[in-house]
Structure 1
Amino acid sequence: MANLLSRVFENQSVTVAERHIPEGADNLICLIENGEVIATSPFWPLAQSFLMVNSDRYRTGTQQSNIGNFPDVLTGLDEVEFTVCGFPQSNKEKLLSVLISRFIEYRALESEAGTFHATFQRLSRLDDEYGTKQIYEWLGESDVETHVYGIRDDPTAVKDIDVTIHNGSSLAYHRSWVVLFQPPAERCTERDCDGPVALVAVEIDDNVWRGLWTYDADRVSRLKSHLTHVF
């Protein structure tokens, strides 16, 4: 168990250690910060949603909406900077950012209100990936104000999805990975109240991304302002 997690985080600023505790739940994963346990997740759901799958599950399927399984020990890694590589350099590193992106999309869907923004580099990806397209169709049918950003590499891309499209060809469109959700202003803005959340990353090399995610309302607001002014 520890070996699986260690391989995933071996290039990150996350330390994985295994401890045998005489009493307590079996195979429980704990997220510890400054000596305090801030989140826990059973090992098997973590394995099913992350350790034993690849990113194709999130591109082609929508099962996550049915099981609601975004382990707290992963979503709780906010404000931790990651540098992740995609396939073929790594089978797992980029999956963490893909999972968090899906987590933010479902938070918007479950809220059924608010504002959602996502960058895609190429808009045709929304048509190429069935699972992704299905989620954005759901967002387009909801009361969530949904904005999608990307290079229009296919004139017919996204034509059947009822979202606001922003297209361009600047460096920001080529290198940005942003998924952002803000609930309505009158709602609770704390994490436990399904408040704002954003993932932001920049491609620093071919298929190599550096970024983090945050639940901080001010940081999410500043990122949204940056999106609307730069893209």
Structure 2
Amino acid sequence: MELIAEGLTVALGRRTVLRDVSAAFAPGRVTVVLGANGAGKSTLLRAGAALVPAAAGRVALGGADVAAMPVRERAQAIGYLPQDAAVHWNMRVRDVVALGRLPHGGGVADAAVDRALAATRTADFAERSVRDLSGGERARVLLARVLAGEPRWLLADEPLASLDPLHQLEALALLRDAAAAGMGVVVVLHDLTQAAAVSDEVLLLKDGQVLAHGPTETVMTPDNLAAAYGVAVEVLVRADGRRVIVATEAARQLS
């Protein structure tokens, strides 16, 4: 079922962060949310998980208002990975990942936990304390925790931020695999080339509003990216069809 923002407006304090955002996200696809700092990307994901209230409009899943869903039902349907996720207890990695099963009644489903550990390549240190891990290892464990809950939707805010290049590529492949298995994936990224590589669709935000939304190749154009980021952008297409996005000049240098 689709996850749909309908005229969504969100205010944080006195500042309107999102303004009349409407967009439909389809299951089985990876949608990357792009935009400059302060464009409202993280707030959109938080609103999608009903972690911030809407001043107007709503987010709906299968026609039901996400904010009005029972907490357990919502947590079973939508897995949210925040940008600044942390673990505040000294726990084994396996136990942290098993917390992802809480929306299903708290029982540990070993098979789901094992699958999440394997998918994120964290099984080798499943018995270690999470406090003994590097920042990148911990980020993968927290992604495993979300995946262990087997949600229908994954909302991930900059999941590559603390990962080295190898694990960034593995995480991108994991997002693609999750979508191929039918999960809806909405992810905030900063690297434009990675966004072009992993996405089926792109939602481009500017100043809290939708600048463009649709298939990657129609949204990630030089004109759209220049308007969103204030830079001149060149889109290079490799022989294998992959796009490489290069920022060439700041907009102020072009005037």
TM-score under structure 1 length normalisation: 0.31
Could you say which structure has the higher strand fraction? 2
TM-score normalized with structure 2 length = 0.29
Higher relative contact order (CA 8 A, sep 6+): 2
